[in-house]
Amino acid sequence: MSKTPIVEVINFGDELLVGIRENSHLTYLGAQLARFGLPIQRSRVITDEAIEIKRAFLDAWEHSDIVITTGGLGPTADDMTRENIAAALGAELVFEPAIEAQIVARFKALGRPMAAHHRKQCYRFIDGKVLQNERGTAPGLAYQCKSKTLIMLPGPTHELTPMFEKQAIPFLQSLGALSEEEAYLQIRTCGSGESTVEETMQPLVQSHPDLTVAYCVHYGIVDVRLSSRDRRLDMEQIKAIGQEARELLGEDFVCFGDCSLAKVVLHELRALDRRLAIAESCTGGLLCDAFTNLAGASKVFVGGVVCYSNDVKVSKVGVPESIIEQHGAVSAECAIAMASGIAENLCSDYGLSVTGFAGPDGGDEKNPVGTIHLGYHSPVGVWCKTVRYTGGRLDVKARAVHAALDWMRRKLRKYKVEEFLSCGERD
């Protein structure tokens, strides 16, 4: 394709329109396509009704070069995307025995026979391509007509993601619609707002006129994307500029790419060959969850305790009763005791703790609602950090986890030399 194709995404499903399910597909597809230099220009969410499916698709087909749909490929009566789009195109669908054989084999592995209604999933465009579904029964479909391309993906995220990355992206690359290499370098930052990050990046922007810098704000994160207008800078040159940006950003630099804070902490701990234990109260296990979501976490994360009551803080974590009596459970002293206690009890090198008032009740003059104390135990010392947040209970909990992870990331990098020395003395 000589010009940049116009891409539209259509997400089908009544569950998206009534708020039962969040439309995460658009975010995912947008990120994946932009990664290879193909931004989405248009998107829409459409009901499962046949007339609306046809109307939306024909409009997209007229005004776009590539149309990507999600949802409506299942076996139930309301899954009619395949049939209605074929009717709108005037394209023939044919039964594909190979698809049926795959579905039969999948159900056999589960110890069940294939239900008859799954046969509707066995149809493909007569001149189209089948995208194999490695995690479900609904195959994806690809269809081309003249200069236009249609890609149809299943609705479940765990089915859509591998299908798009392993099959749809290579297919679009073979057509020349996507670049063979990534179109930008992403730098993840944490600790400063978007305006501050932009100001920090100004020397680079001014010294590299062919550099394009874009900012994307997430929860507590600012991503910086470096690319080049008209590909005047190749990726090696962009990576060299990225190293300059890393120096400018200092401690706010998290990583190149999109690793989570937990993954960065995990990486740092693996480099030290040391282990982490967690004690958390008001966050209720969310901090532990951030690590257990990561493959290979068991090499670093040994375990944690949700010590919601004072009795559990004392009996399971090892917080001295005197600390709670003198300072309270929500205090810097308690946070440090929790971090040190969990590290000792679980034979871990590092301990991380969270205690606070997430709200809406609790709190006092000294520690109002939203006050969070973080405790940190390491081979070279113990520390506490206190933060205060506004907002609802869930928001405060999420921000507390984010603060704990970012703080530990910074501590590990700041004291890395000392910690390596300390660890070496212990070995």
123-155 pLDDT, tens digit each: 999 999 999 999 999 999 999 998 999 999 999
- Could you tell me the two tokens for 288? 């532990």
The pTM is what? 0.82
Strand, helix or coil at 199? helix
In this model, does residue 422 exceed pLDDT 80?
no
196-250 pLDDT, tens digit each: 999 999 999 999 999 999 999 987 899 999 999 778 899 999 999 999 999 999 9
26 backbone dihedrals φ, ψ, rounded to 5°: -60, -45
Determine the pLDDT at residue 426: 41
- Decide: 244 and 274 in contact? Cβ < 8 Å: no
Element (H, E) at 280: strand 276-280
Mean of the per-residue pLDDT values of the chain: 94
* DSSP codes joined into one string, 35-51: HTT----EEEEE-S-HH
So where are the chain's domains? 7-174, 185-256, 264-426
Burial label, 164 (beta-carbon count in 10 A; 0-12, 13-18, 19+): buried
- Could you tell me the two tokens for 404? 């704990």
Determine the pLDDT at residue 229: 77
Residue 176 pLDDT grade (very low, low, confident, very high; cuts 50, 70, 90)? very high
Determine the pLDDT at residue 220: 85
Residue 119 pLDDT grade (very low, low, confident, very high; cuts 50, 70, 90)? very high
CATH of 264-426, one of 3.40.1390.20, 3.90.950.20, 3.40.640.10, 3.30.70.560: 3.90.950.20
**Superfamily covering domain 185-256:** Ribosomal protein S10 (3.30.70.600)
Determine the pLDDT at residue 224: 97
Q: Which of 3, 35, 42, 41 is nearest to 227 (CA)?
A: 35
253-303 pLDDT, tens digit each: 999 999 999 999 999 999 999 999 999 999 999 999 999 999 999 999 999
394-411 pLDDT, tens digit each: 999 999 999 999 999 999
Determine the pLDDT at residue 1: 46
Residue 316 exposure: Cα atoms within 13 Å on the Cβ side: 16
- Could you tell me the two tokens for 144? 């081309």
9-46 pLDDT, tens digit each: 999 999 999 999 889 999 999 999 999 989 999 999 99
CATH of 7-174, one of 2.160.20.10, 3.40.30.10, 3.90.25.10, 3.40.980.10: 3.40.980.10
- What single letter denotes the amino acid at residue 256? F
Burial label, 417 (beta-carbon count in 10 A; 0-12, 13-18, 19+): exposed
Burial label, 108 (beta-carbon count in 10 A; 0-12, 13-18, 19+): exposed
Determine the pLDDT at residue 134: 94
